[in-house]
A and B are shown apart, each in its own frame.
Chain A
Amino acid sequence: MRERLRTAAVVLGLLVLRRRRPEPLLPAEQEPIVPEGSKQPRAELLALGLLLFAVVCFAAFVAVYALDRLPRQTQLLGLALGLGLLSLAAALIVTAKRLVVTEELEDDYPAFEHPEEQETIVRTAEESGSRLTRRRLFALGLGAAGGTLGLALLAPLASLGPVIDMNPFYRVPWRRGRRLIDEDGRPYRASEIDEGTFYTAFPEGADKEELGSPLVVVRLRQSELDLPPENAGYAARGIVAFSKICTHAGCAIALYRTPLYPPAEPKPALVCPCHYSTFDPATGGTVIFGPAGRKLPMLPLTIDRRGYLRAAGTFDGPVGPSWWGVRNRGAKA
């Protein structure tokens, strides 16, 4: 029994591994389409080796995938699959370069144009309209119907969003009396706002993710404050608040540079990290560097009897990046 199995294995191995002399597929007198090339047994062996390596890699990929909790599993998976693919690619390239005949043939470029066919098409189109008496009008009718059909098909796209109503772009949740709260919902007291640092505040009871919600709040020394007349009274004991959304492209202003030793260091400024628009909190949020084309919207503040910070009104302008109507009217609470 064992003897027989061994013989069978040897025979099978010989069958697979032996070099087969290809039988002539065509009768000898017929000219070959692909010219015959010289034999390249070494290149053939190389290609076979590469294929074998690819097989090993792909099997390894499956094995690594099947294992659990392997350190660096992503790297091993990538290595196995990537090397397998590259090895297969190499085998094909060896095949292309050494194992198939690289013919260099000539062919005609296709004709640049086909005048007869063009003529036939034109005549077919023209002659098909022989029964029409008002051709122009008919064409106009077709065009009008097609155009309005397009319009009708596009019209429902207006349901995607408020296409005419621009009110949402002016609306902000800040209105007179709203308290400033922190990210965890705790209201800010004026006394806890220090100089030389910045705070992020939200309107009490509103959606934090809305563009009109987040504020950046800082306290400046009274001597530093230089608010323009239209922002007079916006500060409460040196505390000023601005929309945290940059007026250039809408990123959050999460940078406050504030000199520890003012005479020798750059003056306080709010900076957007996307395109480095830089705003001066002391002058009501004017642009002092970078591409922003509008000052930061400022929120007037008051301090209530219990010491909490509250909005004394709404922003002095719409929040967020500029658009065609951004200067037409103010922010709406």
Chain B
Amino acid sequence: MRRRLVTVAVLAGALVLPLGASAATPAQVERGNHLYGRYCLSCHGAKGSGTPNTAPSLRGAGALAADFYLRTGYMPLHEVGTQPRRTRLLFDEGELQALTAYVASLGQGPPIPKPRPSRGNLAEGMHAFTDHCAGCHQIVAEGGYVTGALPPALENATDVQIAEAVRIGPYVMPTFSKQQISDRTLDSIIAYVDYVKHPDDRGGWALGHLGPVPEGLVTWLIAAALAVVFCVVIGKRLRRT
């Protein structure tokens, strides 16, 4: 029974995925247009023309950018000029596909990438991540700080989103071309990011992979506190009853 369910799910996925990913139906684009008018038009303008000093044009942004900004909940942005943050999704799956299809129809843009991290090499990924990403996102992808912005932790980033972000460079992130980071290297980077979501924590409780700050907290709140407890227990000597 269970096996049959799985088979059905796989078949359904195989049917739905290509539809969602590439071949957008006119009905979808029409629905997307409708949603665009409701949620995006006020900033991005009619037919994605953009508004000076407020929002960029979406012509040529392609399905790649639309998929990224919508699925991370970065868009709609609640305040122009602030860093987009991962938020609750406003749209359901059908609406997401429709909007993405509409934005893709506005110009010649890149399609949604199909990364295959299983092809990647973990060691190459760690090396490339260290060179290009660790400065902002921290070496174990726990997120960090750059003056004026907050490079996010990557624990919730999906493979596709990582691939998209590398090519887009959202907010103040650099934009990496295929010449700089090939699709092959990108697969390795994604493999590495996936790995560090649950890395080899053979040392025990991982403390969020942040190093000295939580270690200092453990030193004081657990080790030093217990040491004081030992002293109190041992130092009390049943006197002056």
A and B touch in the complex (CB under 8 A): yes
CA distance A182 to B102 in the complex (A): 40
B13 within 8 A of A: no
**Residues of A contacting B54 with CB < 8 Å?**
264
B94 within 8 A of A: no
Tell me which residues from 93 to 147 in chain A have a Cβ below 8 Å from any Cβ of chain B: 93, 96-97, 102, 104
Q: Could you tell me if B148 and A93 are in contact, using CB atoms closer than 8 angstroms?
A: no
14 residue pairs from A and B, CB less than 8 Å apart:
A74-B204, A78-B204, A102-B239, A194-B180, A196-B174, A196-B175, A197-B174, A197-B175, A257-B146, A257-B147, A257-B148, A260-B168, A261-B56, A276-B147
CA distance A263 to B55 in the complex (A): 9
Of A183, A192, A258, A273, the contact of B169 (CB 8 Å cutoff): A258
Please indicate which of the listed interface residues B55, B131, B172, B204 has the most CB atoms of chain A within 10 Å of its own CB.
B172
**Residues of B contacting A257 with CB < 8 Å?**
146-149, 172-173
**Residues of B contacting A258 with CB < 8 Å?**
169, 172-175
Tell me which residues from 176 to 220 in chain B have a Cβ below 8 Å from any Cβ of chain A: 176-177, 179-180, 202-204
B118 within 8 A of A: no
CB of B37 to closest CB in A, whole Å: 22
CA distance A252 to B130 in the complex (A): 12
Question: A: which residues have CB within 8 A of B?
Answer: 72, 74-75, 78, 93, 96-97, 102, 104, 183, 192, 194, 196-200, 252-261, 263-266, 269, 271, 273, 276, 278, 289-290
State how many residues of chain B have any CB contact under 8 Å with chain A. 37
Q: Which residue of B lies closest to A288 (CB)?
A: B147
Please indicate which of the listed interface residues A194, A260, A269, A278 has the most CB atoms of chain B within 10 Å of its own CB.
A260
Q: Which residue of B lies closest to A272 (CB)?
A: B135
CA distance A102 to B240 in the complex (A): 12
Q: Could you tell me if B203 and A199 are in contact, using CB atoms closer than 8 angstroms?
A: no
Q: Could you tell me if A183 and B81 are in contact, using CB atoms closer than 8 angstroms?
A: no
Chain B window 70-87, contacts with chain A (Cβ cutoff 8 Å), 1 for yes, 0 for no: 000000000011000000
CA distance A183 to B124 in the complex (A): 13
Q: Could you tell me if A97 and B238 are in contact, using CB atoms closer than 8 angstroms?
A: yes
Tell me which residues from 108 to 153 in chain B have a Cβ below 8 Å from any Cβ of chain A: 131, 134-136, 144-149
Q: Which residue of A lies closest to B133 (CB)?
A: A254
Known: A102-B237, A196-B175, A264-B53. A255 touches B146 (CB 8 A): yes
Of B131, B202, B234, the contact of A96 (CB 8 Å cutoff): B234
Of A72, A74, A265, A273, the contact of B172 (CB 8 Å cutoff): A265
Q: Could you tell me if B170 and A197 are in contact, using CB atoms closer than 8 angstroms?
A: no
Of A93, A198, A271, the contact of B234 (CB 8 Å cutoff): A93
Of A78, A192, A254, the contact of B134 (CB 8 Å cutoff): A254
CA distance A263 to B56 in the complex (A): 10
Known: A78-B204, A276-B147. A200 touches B131 (CB 8 A): yes
